[in-house]
Amino acid sequence: MVNWTTIDKHAKEWLKEAGKRIVSSFVTAPEIMTKTNPDDLVTNIDQETEQFFTEKIRETFSSHRILGEEGFGDELTKVSGIIWIIDPIDGTTNFVHQQRNFMISIGIYEDGEPRLGYVYDVVHQDLYYAKSGEGAYWNDVKLSLLKEVPVEKALIGINSTWLISNRLIDPRETLIPLVNDARGTRSYGSAALEFVYVATGRLDAYITMRLSPWDFAGGKIIVEEVGGKVSNLRGEPLNILEKNPIVVAKPGLHEKIIQKYLSKGFS
């Protein structure tokens, strides 16, 4: 029998410790490197934080497997067993430029099924978390189930670059009409933050064209636990080991965004 209470206790303890380490790193400038392109940043703190988690997990739960953005985890091709999907710093650009608006994100899955989700706002010491079937929390506050809202009253998280061009859908037929009809848009630069903003009702929806498993693994569990919907642009379930374009939204609004707007972009 898997003891999820013990796993949850350790995960929270390690998040707090990793958070303290990140905040104490602010006194010295991080070492900034680029990955696939000049806008794709990574720092020694991203790497050290991921290593911190992989060491703790391997020491404590030797049978668990790890998928991490910075490559200190395992090579995973199957969802079997217990998998920790970790983004040590989600919002590295914010971390580098703003020293805020970045999160540690962790999703724990068993045979592909969601079990525990965490998004930790290190600077504000705000922990968003969920245990599948038992609800989601913002620190000690239990989050309410999300209620339907019309597009006209919706505040939507979207990165403006997707409105200009993308390879998936024509924005003129899809995103531009949606942005026109919605009450407003916001862009925070951290996918994990935008997921938990939907979970807390601070955003009504979040649309993003390409996220990796570590960007959404934690947030997805939290959003779904309050009745929010998470899918690809066609409304299909996400593959948790692959990159996906994503729509996250309140129930009802999610279907509306896909049917009335995004479906216009597919032939």
Known binding positions for Mg(2+): 69, 87, 89-90, 215
Q: Does 215 bind Ca ion (CB under 5 A)?
A: yes
90 binds ligand 2AM (CB under 6 A): yes
* Structure-block tokens of residue 65: 């497997």
75 binds, among ligand 2AM, Ca ion, none (CB under 5 to 8 A by kind): none
Q: Which of 194, 206, 249, 257 lies closest to 226 in space, CA to CA?
A: 249
Rounded to an integer, what distance in angstroms lies between the CA atom of residue 137 and that of residue 226? 9
Q: How far is the CB of 203 from ligand 2AM (least distance, A)?
A: 14
Q: Which does 189 bind (CB under 5 to 8 A by kind): ligand 2AM, Ca ion, none?
A: ligand 2AM
The CB-nearest residue to ligand 2AM is 191
- Give the residue carrying structure tokens 């998040």: 15
Min separation Cβ 214 and ligand 2AM, Å: 7
What does the DSSP assignment read for 147-184? ----GGG-EEEE-THHHH--SSS-TTTTHHHHHHHSSE
Backbone torsion region of residue 99, taken as left when φ is above 0, otherwise alpha when ψ lies between -120 and 50, otherwise beta: left
What track of x and - describes contact with Ca ion for positions 133 through 172 (by CB under 5 A)? ----------------------------------------
The mark string for 113-152 relative to ligand 2AM (x by CB under 6 A, - otherwise) is ----------------------------------------
Binding residue for ligand 2AM (CB under 6 A) from 17, 40, 55, 170?
40
Q: Residue 110: which of Ca ion, ligand 2AM, none does it interact with, CB under 5 to 8 A by kind?
A: none
Using CB under 6 A as the binding rule, the residues of this chain from 46 to 75 that contact ligand 2AM are: 69
Verify binding: residue 194, Ca ion, rule CB under 5 A. Answer: no
Task: Name the site residues for Ca ion (rule: CB under 5 A).
Answer: 69, 87, 89-90, 215
Task: Name the site residues for ligand 2AM (rule: CB under 6 A).
Answer: 36, 39-40, 69, 87, 90-93, 189-191, 212, 215
